Copies of this chain bind each other. A is one copy, B any other.
Amino acid sequence: MELQEKLHNKGLRLTYPRREVVAILNAAASPLTPQSIYQRSVERKSDIGLVSVYRTLELLSELDLVRRVHGHDGCHGYVLASPGHHHHLVCRKCGKAVEFSGSADLSDFIAKIQKETSYKIDEHILQLYGICPKCQKERH
Protein backbone atom coordinates (compact mmCIF):
# COMPACT_ATOMS: atom_id res chain seq x y z
CA MET A 1 0.00 0.00 0.00
CA GLU A 2 0.96 3.62 -0.51
CA LEU A 3 1.12 4.52 3.13
CA GLN A 4 3.16 1.49 4.14
CA GLU A 5 5.80 2.21 1.53
CA LYS A 6 6.05 5.92 2.05
CA LEU A 7 6.52 5.48 5.75
CA HIS A 8 9.07 2.79 5.25
CA ASN A 9 11.13 4.94 2.92
CA LYS A 10 11.56 7.44 5.67
CA GLY A 11 12.24 4.97 8.44
CA LEU A 12 8.85 5.66 9.95
CA ARG A 13 6.50 3.10 11.42
CA LEU A 14 3.01 2.00 10.58
CA THR A 15 1.28 2.33 13.90
CA TYR A 16 -2.19 1.82 15.20
CA PRO A 17 -3.10 5.52 15.46
CA ARG A 18 -1.90 6.11 11.92
CA ARG A 19 -3.96 3.24 10.60
CA GLU A 20 -6.98 4.53 12.44
CA VAL A 21 -6.75 8.07 11.13
CA VAL A 22 -6.47 6.76 7.59
CA ALA A 23 -9.37 4.37 8.12
CA ILE A 24 -11.55 7.13 9.52
CA LEU A 25 -10.76 9.49 6.68
CA ASN A 26 -11.36 6.68 4.27
CA ALA A 27 -14.85 6.10 5.62
CA ALA A 28 -15.73 9.79 5.61
CA ALA A 29 -17.76 11.50 2.92
CA SER A 30 -16.73 14.99 3.88
CA PRO A 31 -13.62 16.73 5.13
CA LEU A 32 -12.96 16.11 8.80
CA THR A 33 -11.30 18.40 11.30
CA PRO A 34 -8.76 17.00 13.77
CA GLN A 35 -11.43 17.25 16.43
CA SER A 36 -14.00 15.33 14.45
CA ILE A 37 -11.50 12.64 13.58
CA TYR A 38 -10.78 12.26 17.25
CA GLN A 39 -14.50 12.15 17.94
CA ARG A 40 -14.96 9.27 15.54
CA SER A 41 -12.05 7.39 16.98
CA VAL A 42 -13.75 7.58 20.34
CA GLU A 43 -16.99 6.29 18.81
CA ARG A 44 -15.09 3.45 17.21
CA LYS A 45 -13.54 2.77 20.61
CA SER A 46 -10.13 2.94 19.04
CA ASP A 47 -9.10 5.45 21.63
CA ILE A 48 -6.23 7.20 20.04
CA GLY A 49 -5.06 10.48 21.47
CA LEU A 50 -6.06 13.80 19.96
CA VAL A 51 -2.40 14.68 19.91
CA SER A 52 -1.71 11.74 17.65
CA VAL A 53 -4.45 12.86 15.32
CA TYR A 54 -2.73 16.19 14.91
CA ARG A 55 0.64 14.58 14.47
CA THR A 56 -0.65 12.04 12.01
CA LEU A 57 -2.39 14.64 9.89
CA GLU A 58 0.78 16.66 9.75
CA LEU A 59 2.72 13.61 8.70
CA LEU A 60 0.18 12.50 6.12
CA SER A 61 0.17 15.99 4.67
CA GLU A 62 3.90 15.86 4.22
CA LEU A 63 3.57 12.50 2.54
CA ASP A 64 0.87 14.00 0.37
CA LEU A 65 -1.59 11.33 1.40
CA VAL A 66 -4.01 13.79 2.84
CA ARG A 67 -5.18 17.18 1.64
CA ARG A 68 -6.45 20.16 3.48
CA VAL A 69 -9.84 21.40 2.39
CA HIS A 70 -10.87 24.91 3.25
CA GLY A 71 -14.30 25.39 4.70
CA HIS A 72 -16.06 28.43 3.39
CA ASP A 73 -16.23 29.83 6.87
CA GLY A 74 -12.50 29.57 7.33
CA CYS A 75 -11.98 26.43 9.32
CA HIS A 76 -10.55 23.54 7.42
CA GLY A 77 -10.73 19.81 7.31
CA TYR A 78 -8.78 16.97 5.83
CA VAL A 79 -9.59 14.39 3.19
CA LEU A 80 -7.66 11.45 1.89
CA ALA A 81 -5.88 12.43 -1.28
CA SER A 82 -6.18 10.44 -4.40
CA PRO A 83 -2.93 10.47 -6.32
CA GLY A 84 -2.23 13.55 -8.36
CA HIS A 85 -3.32 17.09 -7.90
CA HIS A 86 -6.99 17.43 -7.12
CA HIS A 87 -9.51 19.97 -6.08
CA HIS A 88 -12.63 19.73 -4.03
CA LEU A 89 -16.21 20.63 -4.45
CA VAL A 90 -17.95 20.85 -1.10
CA CYS A 91 -21.67 20.91 -0.36
CA ARG A 92 -22.48 23.94 1.75
CA LYS A 93 -25.36 22.09 3.33
CA CYS A 94 -24.25 18.58 4.24
CA GLY A 95 -20.52 19.04 3.77
CA LYS A 96 -20.18 16.16 1.34
CA ALA A 97 -17.08 16.67 -0.76
CA VAL A 98 -16.21 15.32 -4.17
CA GLU A 99 -12.85 15.51 -5.80
CA PHE A 100 -12.23 16.66 -9.31
CA SER A 101 -9.10 17.05 -11.26
CA GLY A 102 -8.69 19.88 -13.69
CA SER A 103 -5.27 21.40 -13.37
CA ALA A 104 -5.09 20.93 -17.10
CA ASP A 105 -8.05 23.22 -17.68
CA LEU A 106 -6.53 25.72 -15.35
CA SER A 107 -3.04 25.84 -16.74
CA ASP A 108 -3.76 28.28 -19.56
CA PHE A 109 -5.41 30.57 -17.14
CA ILE A 110 -2.52 30.34 -14.71
CA ALA A 111 0.00 30.95 -17.48
CA LYS A 112 -1.85 34.12 -18.35
CA ILE A 113 -1.79 35.43 -14.79
CA GLN A 114 1.86 34.50 -14.54
CA LYS A 115 2.64 36.60 -17.57
CA GLU A 116 0.59 39.52 -16.32
CA THR A 117 2.05 39.60 -12.83
CA SER A 118 5.60 38.31 -13.39
CA TYR A 119 5.11 36.07 -10.38
CA LYS A 120 6.46 32.56 -10.76
CA ILE A 121 3.35 30.54 -9.94
CA ASP A 122 3.89 27.06 -8.61
CA GLU A 123 0.93 26.13 -6.47
CA HIS A 124 -2.73 26.82 -6.20
CA ILE A 125 -5.86 26.15 -4.26
CA LEU A 126 -9.10 25.88 -6.11
CA GLN A 127 -12.15 25.03 -4.21
CA LEU A 128 -15.76 25.07 -5.25
CA TYR A 129 -18.84 25.33 -3.07
CA GLY A 130 -22.39 24.49 -3.87
CA ILE A 131 -25.30 22.26 -3.08
CA CYS A 132 -25.08 18.55 -3.78
CA PRO A 133 -27.82 16.74 -5.73
CA LYS A 134 -29.27 15.16 -2.61
CA CYS A 135 -29.57 18.43 -0.70
CA GLN A 136 -31.10 20.11 -3.75
CA LYS A 137 -34.03 17.73 -3.54
CA GLU A 138 -34.46 18.09 0.20
CA ARG A 139 -35.60 21.69 0.04
CA HIS A 140 -38.26 22.81 2.44
Interface positions of A (Cβ within 8 A of B): 68, 70, 72, 74, 76, 89, 91-92, 98, 100, 102, 105-106, 109-110, 112-114, 116-133, 136
Residues of B within 8 A of A68 (CB): 74
Number of copies: 2
When the two chains form their complex, are residues A128 and B121 in contact, meaning their CB atoms are under 8 A apart?
yes
When the two chains form their complex, are residues B121 and A89 in contact, meaning their CB atoms are under 8 A apart?
yes
Q: Which residue of B lies closest to A87 (CB)?
A: B113
User: Roughly how many angstroms separate A117 CA and B100 CA in the complex, as a whole number?
Assistant: 9
Knowing A76-B74, A109-B105, the reply to whether A136 touches B120 (Cβ < 8 A) is yes
Taking the nearest CB of chain B, how far is it from the CB of A78, in angstroms?
Answer: 10
